Structure 1
Amino acid sequence: MSTPLHLPIVKVTVLEDRALVERRADVTLPAGPHALSVEGLSPLAVDRSLQAQLTGGSVAQARLSRVAKEKAPESAPDKTQLRLRVESLEREHKQAQAEVERLHARLAVVETAREDVLRAIAEFTGHGQAKPESWHTQLETVRQAAATTDEALRQATRRAARTRQQWAEAQSVLAQGEQPEQRLVTSARLEVNHPTGGTVSLRVTYLVPCAVWRPAYRATLLPSEVGESVTLECEAVVWQRTEEDWKDVELLLSTARPTLGASPPRLVEDWLRLRDKSEQEKHSVEVALREEVLQNTGEGGARHTEELPGLDDGGEALTLRAPHAVTLPSDGAPHRVPLFQFTSPASSELVGAPEHSPLVHRVARFDNRGVGVLLAGPVELVRASGYVGRAQLKFTGVGERLKLGFGSEDALRILRREDTKQDTQRLTGRRIRTHQVKLFLSNTGARPEKVILEERMPVSEVEAVEVKLVQEQTRPAPAKVSEDGIVRFELAAPAGSQQELAFVYSVSSSSKVAGL
Structure 2
Amino acid sequence: MQIIDSAISSVTVFGDRAEVTRTADLSLAAGEHLLLFDRLPEKIEQKSVQVNGIGNAVLASVKFKVAHYEEVPDEDKKALMDEQQVLEDELAHLQNKSTRLSNEKKFIENITVKLTTPIEDDVPTLDPAEWDKMFAFYQQKSEALDEAVLANEKEQRVWKNKIKKIAQQLQDLRYDDTRTKNQVEVIVQMKAEGNLQLNLSYIVYGAQWSPFYDLRVSTEAKKMNLTYNALVTQTTGEEWQDVALKLSTAQPQVSGRQPQLEPWRVDVGGRIAKEDLRNTRFEAVADLGVKSEVASMEEAEDAMDGFGGGGNEQMTKATSGVETGATSVFFSIAGRHTVKSDNTEQQVTVMMEDFGTKFEYSAVPKLSSYAYLRAKVTNNTDYPFLAGTTNVFLNNNFVANASMDTVAATESFWTFLGIDEGIKVERKFLKKYEKKEGKLFGKKTKNVVYEYELLVQNYKKTTEKITLRDQIPISHHDEIKVHLLLPAYKEDTDQLKKDKLNRLQWMYELPPGKEEKIPFHFALEYPHDFSLTGIEDM
For normalisation by structure 1, the TM-score amounts to: 0.66
- The Cα of 1:367 is off from its aligned counterpart by 0.7
Of 56, 73, 77 in structure 1, the residue corresponding to residue 86 of structure 2 is 77
What secondary structure, in the 3-state scheme, does the structure 2 residue paired with 1:373 have? Answer: coil
Deviations 1:248-282, CA, capped at 9 Å, x for gaps: 32222223333434474684764333877756669
Q: Which residue of 2 aligns with 1:360?
A: 371
Aligned pairs for 1:44-443 within 5 A: 44-55=43-54, 56-64=57-65, 65=67, 67=69, 68-69=72-73, 70-72=76-78, 73-74=81-82, 76-79=85-88, 179=170, 182=173, 186=181, 188-197=183-192, 198-223=194-219, 227-261=221-255, 262=257, 264=259, 267=262, 270-273=265-268, 278=273, 287=282, 316-418=327-429, 420-421=432-433, 423=435, 429=444, 432-443=447-458
What do the CA deviations read for 1:89-116 (whole angstroms, capped 9, x no partner)?
A: xxxxxxxxxxxxxxxxxxxxxxxxxxxx
Change (3 A) 1:438 1:295: closer
Secondary structure in 1 matching 2:63: strand
Cα pair distance change 1:385/1:372, threshold 3 Å: closer
- The reply to whether residue 3 of structure 1 matches residue 9 of structure 2 is no
**How far off is 1:489 after superposition?**
3.6
CA distance in 2, matches of 1:274, 1:348: 55
Distance 2:35 2:526 in 1: 82
Residue 406 of structure 2 aligns to a residue in which SS? coil
CA spacing shift, 1:57–1:423, aligned 2, 3 Å? farther
Q: How far did 1:228 drift?
A: 0.3
CA-CA distance at 1:443 after TM superposition: 4.9
Give 1:384 shift.
Answer: 1.0
Instruction: Determine the structure 2 residue equivalent to 1:113.
Output: none
Q: CA deviation at 1:217?
A: 1.3
Q: CA deviation at 1:363?
A: 1.1
User: 2:519 matched to 1:502?
Assistant: yes
Secondary structure at 1:71's aligned position in 2?
A: helix
Q: Distance in 2 between matches of 1:459 and 1:41?
A: 61
- Secondary structure of the residue aligned to 1:372 is coil
Partners of 1:218 and 1:232 within 8 A in 2: yes
Describe the SS at the equivalent of 2:373. strand
2:86 aligns to what SS in structure 1? Answer: coil
Distance verdict in 2 for CA 1:280–1:217, change over 3 Å: closer
Change (3 A) 1:83 1:62: farther
Q: Is the contact between residue 215 and residue 237 of structure 1 (CA under 8 Å) also seen in structure 2? A: yes
- The structural deviation recorded for 1:338 is 0.8
Contact 1:253 1:320 in 2 (8 A): yes
Task: Provide the C-alpha distance between the structure 1 equivalents of 2:359 and 2:38, rounded to a whole number of angstroms.
Answer: 57
Q: Distance in 2 between matches of 1:460 and 1:12?
A: 56
Aligned counterpart for 1:490 among listed residues 508, 517, 527 = 508
Residues 431-455 of structure 1 show CA distances to partners (whole Å, capped at 9, x for unaligned) of 6554422123345566665443222
**For each residue in 1:142-176, what CA deviation from the matched residue of structure 2 results, as whole angstroms up to 9, or x when unmatched?**
xxxxxxxxxxxxxxxxxxxxxxxxxxxxxxx9998
Query: Is the Cα contact below 8 Å between 2:216 and 2:396 reproduced in 1?
Result: no
Per-residue CA deviation, residues 197-247 of structure 1 (Å, 9 max, x unaligned), is 4222211112222111112111111145xx501121212211112222222
Structure 1: which 5+ residue stretches go unaligned? 85-172, 301-312
Confirm or deny: 8 A CA contact 2:467 2:505 kept in the other structure: no
Relative to structure 1, is the Cα distance of residues 221 and 36 closer, same or farther in structure 2, using a 3 angstrom cutoff?
Answer: same
**Identity of aligned pairs, percent?**
18
SS in 2 for 1:79: helix
CA contact (8 A) 1:298 1:402 kept: no
Distance 1:426 1:376, change over 3 A: closer
The DSSP-based 3-state class of the residue aligned with 1:74 is: helix
Is contact 1:297–1:396 with CA below 8 Å preserved after alignment? Answer: no
Deviation per residue, 1:11-55 (Å, 9 max, x gap): 211111111101123322233322212245334333443332345
Distance 1:66-1:444 versus aligned 2 partners, 3 A rule: farther
Q: Aligned match of 2:496 in 459, 480, 486? A: 480
Q: Distance in 2 between matches of 1:268 and 1:83?
A: 72
Max Rg structure? 1
Decide whether the 8 Å contact of 1:286 with 1:513 is kept in 2: no
Letter matched to residue 440 of structure 1: L
User: Which string of whole-angstrom CA distances, capped at 9 and with x for unpartnered residues, describes residues 481-505 of structure 1?
Assistant: 143433214152643x665321123
Q: How many residues align?
A: 412
Distance apart, 1:359 and its partner CA: 0.4
Aligned equivalents of 1:82, 1:281: Cα separation in 2: 73
Residues 1:233 and 1:295: Cα distance change in structure 2 (over 3 Å): farther
Moved more, 253-262 or 269-278: 269-278
Contact 1:17 1:210 in 2 (8 A): yes
Q: Cα distance 1:298–1:374, how it changes in 2: closer, same or farther (>3 A)?
A: farther
Q: Over aligned residue pairs, what C-alpha RMSD do you find?
A: 4.5
Greater shift after overlay, 329-338 or 288-297? 288-297
SS at match of 1:320: strand
Q: Match of 1:505, as an amino acid?
A: F
Is this contact kept in 1: 2:360–2:464, CA < 8 A? no
